[in-house]
Amino acid sequence: MPEEIIHIKAPIDEKTVLGLRAGQKVLFDGVFYTARDSSHKRLVELIEQGKPLPIDLQGQVIYYVGPTPARPGQVIGSAGPTTSSRMDPYMEPLYKKGLKGTVGKGERSQEVIDLMKRYKAVHFSNIGGAAALVARSIRKCDMIAFEDLGTEAIHRLEVEDFFAIVAYDTLGNDMYKEAIKIWGKEESRIQ
């Protein structure tokens, strides 16, 4: 797995997406949008109804997070990633609209991995349990849509040096499977 850390500007273009490989470490600068289960469901409903979306998904990165309210003097409260597989049922319509990246924790279904290959998109993994640390990379947070959903509303985040690892790339490479291969060999040597 690649060891270098690369800097990426979000939204991301297709050339950048095509060059990413599973296991690669990245630092993001730019704009993310937040969305979780309920907001994904609403976005897909709008697409199915032929109605405009509150955000242009072309080249965008969605961070699976339900940020907590900011304390005085903070931009955002805790902002740790949500389990990615919860969004799997909603992905194809969003990829069709140009979504290029998602950030969350945990594995994706084979169906979503295949969709990433088809639509030239990637998924990044972030550190679960480090919500306060992740929040330090968020410079601005604005409510965009579905305010009635509370923490599941869509927010626009401006990020700087936001760390993530490419979990799945456009070729279908899977960081989780690769890690098991590597660490499985190490574990057998130890025993």
Distance separating alpha carbons of residues 42 and 11, to the nearest angstrom: 22
User: For the chain, where are the alpha helices, taking DSSP H only?
Assistant: 14-19, 37-48, 91-96, 110-119, 131-135, 175-190
Distance separating alpha carbons of residues 93 and 136, to the nearest angstrom: 32
Distance separating alpha carbons of residues 16 and 130, to the nearest angstrom: 27
Distance separating alpha carbons of residues 118 and 112, to the nearest angstrom: 10
Encoded tokens for 52:
């405009």
Task: Report the candidate in 76, 60, 78 with the shortest Cα–Cα distance to residue 122.
Answer: 60
Active site residue 40: yes
- 34: helix, strand or coil: strand
By residue count, the chain amounts to: 191
* Catalytic positions: 40
